[in-house]
Structure 1
Amino acid sequence: MIEPYRSPETVDNGSKMLPIRSIMVGENFSGCPFSPELDRLGSRRFASRLTLPGGGWFFPAAMLHQVLKSKIYKAVTTDSIVEYEGSIEIPRDLMEAAGLWEGEKVLVASLDSAARLETYVLAGEAGTGRILVNGGAAHRIKKGERLTIMAFGLAEMPVVPKKIVLDAENRIERSGR
């Protein structure tokens, strides 16, 4: 556990800490010492300096960022079934190419209607190209709509997401940018 650095004028009154700005680990500014405990993680890692209400600083051990990890772009909905347990069904081969897991939460955005929703992934039969939107989501996204399907993860460092672009038959056209 890293103890917060407290300047002599610090008053700990139980108030929450407020974020000030991000710094490179080891950066010394305005008399603020670097944290050797964080420095062992590597000088390229970022720490966020948090200030205490009465003065002084605190450096959390890790700052997690929510980042894009998987993206399927221009998927075409082949069917939309309201009377089915909610989810989005994606062929297993497309899931593997994009790095998606069965049951993983995804954000689905329609390129045609601008509808956005969150649901979970069901694995469909590989090679079929069938993208099914089921349950309540079928009220928002209809058959034939083009979709962007995204999954996010938590990471300390930048992540290179797996991105694929599909053609009109939901076959992989190319890797995404």
Structure 2
Amino acid sequence: MATIRLMHAKLHRVTVTEANVNYVGSITIDSDLMDKVGLLPLEEVDVINLDNGKRWSTYTLPGKAGSGHICPNGGAALLCKPGDLLIIIAYQECDRSFVLKQGHQAKVLVADKNNRCDEFIYQDLIPKDHGLEFSCS
């Protein structure tokens, strides 16, 4: 069985509201945003800072629902500042043959300047005769 990692959730262009170096680690995310794309508490994510190009891996913690809160904690707080734009990506391991037969879907939330949903996108891999077709809707 060949496993592959595919993106299953992405928060695109969320704005850092706070950076807390004195917390043990992780990234705190408004729980409404997490729920919308299917992120779980303690799930590993990659974080990319669009303002300075820095990238790191950490885990998620749910923040207050509806707050728009995005707060890198611990050492990650040194990689950004309030106002920076981030992309937060979560992956899942999948059986390659299953994906080729059944497909795959990722959820992408594009945030507005207040970390509310500006656009919601499904990115699908759709099985075709001898491969997959990518669809974005």
**Alpha-carbon shift at residue 142 of structure 1 (Å):** 1.5
Look up the match of 2:115: 170
Q: Distance in 2 between matches of 1:151 and 1:159?
A: 14
Alignment coverage as a number of residue pairs: 116
Q: Is the 8 A contact 1:68 1:159 kept in 2?
A: no
What is the one-letter code of the residue matched to 1:104? E
Matched, 1:117 2:19: no
Deviations 1:50-74 (A, max 9, x none): xxxxxxxxxxxx2111100100000
Q: Secondary structure at the match of 1:169?
A: coil
**Alpha-carbon shift at residue 159 of structure 1 (Å):** 1.9
What is the one-letter code of the residue matched to 1:93? D
Q: Distance in 2 between matches of 1:130 and 1:91?
A: 5
Q: Distance in 1 between matches of 2:81 and 2:57?
A: 15
Look up the match of 2:128: none
Unmatched tracts of structure 2, length 5 or more: 122-135
**Alpha-carbon shift at residue 82 of structure 1 (Å):** 0.7
**Alpha-carbon shift at residue 85 of structure 1 (Å):** 1.3
Q: Distance in 1 between matches of 2:108 and 2:61?
A: 19
Q: Distance in 1 between matches of 2:76 and 2:48?
A: 11
Deviations 1:78-113 (A, max 9, x none): 000111111100011100001100000000001111
Q: Is the 8 A contact 1:73 1:163 kept in 2?
A: yes
Q: Distance in 2 between matches of 1:65 and 1:159?
A: 12
Look up the match of 1:103: 42
Q: Distance in 2 between matches of 1:98 and 1:141?
A: 23
Post-superposition, which runs of at least 4 consecutive aligned residues in structure 1 deviate over 3 A? none
The two structures, once aligned, show a CA RMSD in angstroms of: 0.9
- Of structures 1 and 2, the one with the larger relative CO (CA 8 A, separation 6+) is 2
Structure number having the greater strand percentage: 2
What is the one-letter code of the residue matched to 2:6? V
Unmatched tracts of structure 1, length 5 or more: 1-61
Q: Which has the larger radius of gyration?
A: 1
Q: Distance in 1 between matches of 2:104 and 2:31?
A: 23
Residues 24-103 of structure 1 aligned to structure 2 (within 5 Å): 62-103=1-42
Look up the match of 1:131: 70
Normalising by structure 2, what TM-score? 0.82
What is the one-letter code of the residue matched to 1:122? L
